Amino acid sequence: MSFIDSFQKMSVEDLRKEVINLLKEAYADGRIIVETLERRLNEAQAAEDKESLMALVSDIPAPETPGGRTSTGSSENPESSWRINSRVPRENQSFFSILGSSNRTGRWQPARSLTCFTMLGSIRLDFREAEFPDGGIRINTGCILGSLDIVIPPGINIDLSGIPLLGHFDNKAEMGDSRAPTITIRGIAVLGGVDIRQKESKKKRRRNKRRNR
């Protein structure tokens, strides 16, 4: 039975709590913006009947599923999650940093092949909200007195191999899910390095925090 089908059996107060939870989950998933969340939370507190409460969530898009742009890495381990790009991705994309820094974070659609070159600078690629091409990504990198910092969500596979010349290639991520995309990294580090870290997105941490309350 769906939420909409069962709401008539709830009391107004129980429905109010359910609607508030749905609004918070929709914001955490990026389906509504913060202004919408704040306004509707106030309206939910003031609502006096079930119809008014239901109207606050009736137009919110449903969570994306593996058939769409969001997939869950493992039904047994919901921490392992990633997004798949449903569109045709670009083939190539480049990031350069010389005497400076370059950052790519938030929701973005990386190409199948990335070139990253840094000299006396840094590049940070955050894949926690990225939409991966089907089959994964290849990164070719060169770090000369510079650094490449890669942040991935739980579940993503890493295939790392490089030539460190007074430099380093350091992968701190845990083993990935066999069904998840793979990031293949090849390159050279001269007095510099490549660091790979695994970390949950802020939205995921907020969602888990609410579940544990």
Tens digit of pLDDT for each residue in 94-117?
999 998 889 999 889 999 999 999
The answer to whether the CB of 127 falls within 8 A of the CB of 176 is no
Output the pTM of the full model.
0.60
Phi/psi of residue 47, nearest 5 degrees: -65, 145
pLDDT tens per residue, range 34-92 = 888 889 999 999 988 888 888 888 777 655 544 444 444 333 334 447 888 877 888 89
Q: How many residues does the chain have?
A: 213
Which secondary structure element, helix H or strand E, spans residue 26, and what is its range?
Answer: helix 12-28
pLDDT top residue among 32 and 71: 32
Q: Which residue in 108, 116, 113 sits closest to 91, CA to CA?
A: 113
**Contact present, 34 and 42 (Cβ < 8 Å):** no
Instruction: Quick: pLDDT tens for 159-171.
Output: 999 999 999 999 9
Q: Which tokens sit at 90?
A: 């670009």
- Give the model's pLDDT for residue 25: 79
Residues 153 and 207: beta-carbon distance below 8 Å = no
Please give the pLDDT value at position 15: 83
Query: Token digits for 210?
Result: 């609410």
Tell me what pLDDT residue 211 has: 58
Give the residue extent of every domain in the chain: 3-63, 85-200
Q: Report the alpha-carbon distance of residue 69 to residue 82 in Å, rounded.
A: 9
